[in-house]
Amino acid sequence: MTASSYREALRQAHREALARDPRVFLMGEDVGKYGGTYAVSKGLLEEFGPQRIRDTPLSELAFVGAGIGAALGGMRPIVEVMTVNFSLLALDPIVNTAAALRHMSGGQFHVPLVIRMATGAGRQLAAQHSHSLEGWYAHIPGIKVLAPATVEDARGMLWPALQDPDPVLMFEHALLYNLEQELPAGAGEVDIRRARIRRPGRDVTLVGYGGTLEKSLEAARILAQQGIEAEVIDLRVLRPLDDATLLESVRRTRRAVVVDEGWRSGSLAAEIMARIMEQAFYDLDAPVARVCSEEVPIPYAKHLEEAALPQPAKIVAAVQNLWGNR
């Protein structure tokens, strides 16, 4: 076992992909000489040169489109969008071109690119830089949506994503870059098709991903002190959702709480709840509950930002409330 940060795990994943396949290159704002807004690409320009580590103009519409063109031309681009809110400037090439081209061409063309971006709140960056919009992208057929929440997944998701013939979006919660965890010896590729049970339990299933995983695990530790053993599922893959792992857990625990940093209305949490109700209704001992961000633009003030986001105490309260239905 070796200790690594989430940031360093991502950097190592890039380094190995670049060394392994000459078609792989990284492009985005400040990824070169500056080393990336979150220092993920620090040192890669010196190691691989400006042909492989390409700084772009400040135009997401332009450089995401260029990435799609490079993928169509046989390359394997990694496109870094600084934060998820900036990806809205590239919705047209992502949704109307990358996601649809395989279908529109009758399977003749594929767009094998990976788009990485930081997501989430908690850093006092106020309403325009604190979005959690991965649920929007999980709505779109034709793309795969990943949310690495551990150092091992940050290390192991990039290479299999680059092997996918269709577009893959990776959402990295900005609070995770400094996360330190032990990496198993020989850590390599991970399965980008399945969710993972991060903590086994018998009484309730907590479903989280990305920035909500550690909060769910903390809530599970608090609940254990109260005699409630929570099973914690890390979705990891937001599209396509791994219904099998989710439903197998819920059928055992008979209760579920979905934790999602997205807003409640039209959220990914709502989709997960619907799937549980559609496929496991008669296995439930209580209605499915959810903990989402409050229906407000994320505030700047730290105490208000914390109040607006899912927190372990809110998750614990949601779980405790399920027993009122017994």
CATH number of residue 235's parent domain: 3.40.50.920
pLDDT (tens digit per residue) in 245-298: 999 999 999 999 999 999 999 999 999 999 999 999 999 999 999 999 999 999
Per the structure, how many domains does the chain have?
Answer: 2
Catalytic residue among 8, 29, 60, 261: 60
Residue 173 annotated among the catalytic residues of the structure: no
Same domain? For 202 and 171 the reply is no
Looking at residue 177, its pLDDT comes to 97
Same domain? For 90 and 124 the reply is yes
CATH number of residue 174's parent domain: 3.40.50.970
Same domain? For 292 and 147 the reply is no
Same domain? For 174 and 209 the reply is no
DSSP characters over 68-122: HHHHHTT-EEEEEEEEHHHHGGGHIIIIIIITTHHHHTTTS-----EEEEEE---
Kindly state whether residue 292 falls inside one of the protein's structural domains: yes
Does 220 or 323 have the greater pLDDT score?
220
**Average pLDDT value for the chain:** 96
* φ, ψ (nearest 5 deg) of residue 162: -70, -20
Domain boundary among 153, 183, 213: 183
Residue 303 annotated among the catalytic residues of the structure: no
Same domain? For 166 and 280 the reply is no
Kindly state whether residue 271 falls inside one of the protein's structural domains: yes
pLDDT (tens digit per residue) in 17-76: 999 999 999 999 999 999 999 999 999 999 999 999 999 999 999 999 999 999 999 999
CA distances from 102 to 135, 141, 143, 163, 267 (A): 22, 11, 10, 16, 27
Q: Contact at 8 Å (CB) between 262 and 135?
A: yes
Catalytic residue among 8, 29, 80, 129: 129
Same domain? For 268 and 128 the reply is no
Kindly state whether residue 140 falls inside one of the protein's structural domains: yes
Same domain? For 92 and 149 the reply is yes
Kindly state whether residue 190 falls inside one of the protein's structural domains: no
Tell me how far apart the 2 most distant CA atoms of the chain are, in Å. 62
Looking at residue 220, its pLDDT comes to 98
Q: Contact at 8 Å (CB) between 114 and 79?
A: yes
Same domain? For 127 and 244 the reply is no
Kindly state whether residue 189 falls inside one of the protein's structural domains: no
pLDDT (tens digit per residue) in 106-132: 999 999 999 999 999 999 999 999 999
Kindly state whether residue 191 falls inside one of the protein's structural domains: no
Domain extent, residue 256, equals 196-325
Looking at residue 325, its pLDDT comes to 44
Looking at residue 326, its pLDDT comes to 41
Domain boundary among 128, 154, 183: 183
Same domain? For 46 and 172 the reply is yes
Among residues 310, 304, 276, the alpha carbon closest in space to that of 291 is found at 310
pLDDT (tens digit per residue) in 131-173: 999 999 999 999 999 999 999 999 999 999 999 999 999 999 9
Domain boundary among 151, 183, 215: 183
Q: 308, exposed or middle or buried, with CB in 10 Å at 0-12, 13-18, 19+?
A: buried
pTM, full prediction: 0.96
pLDDT (tens digit per residue) in 193-243: 999 999 999 999 999 999 999 999 999 999 999 999 999 999 999 999 999
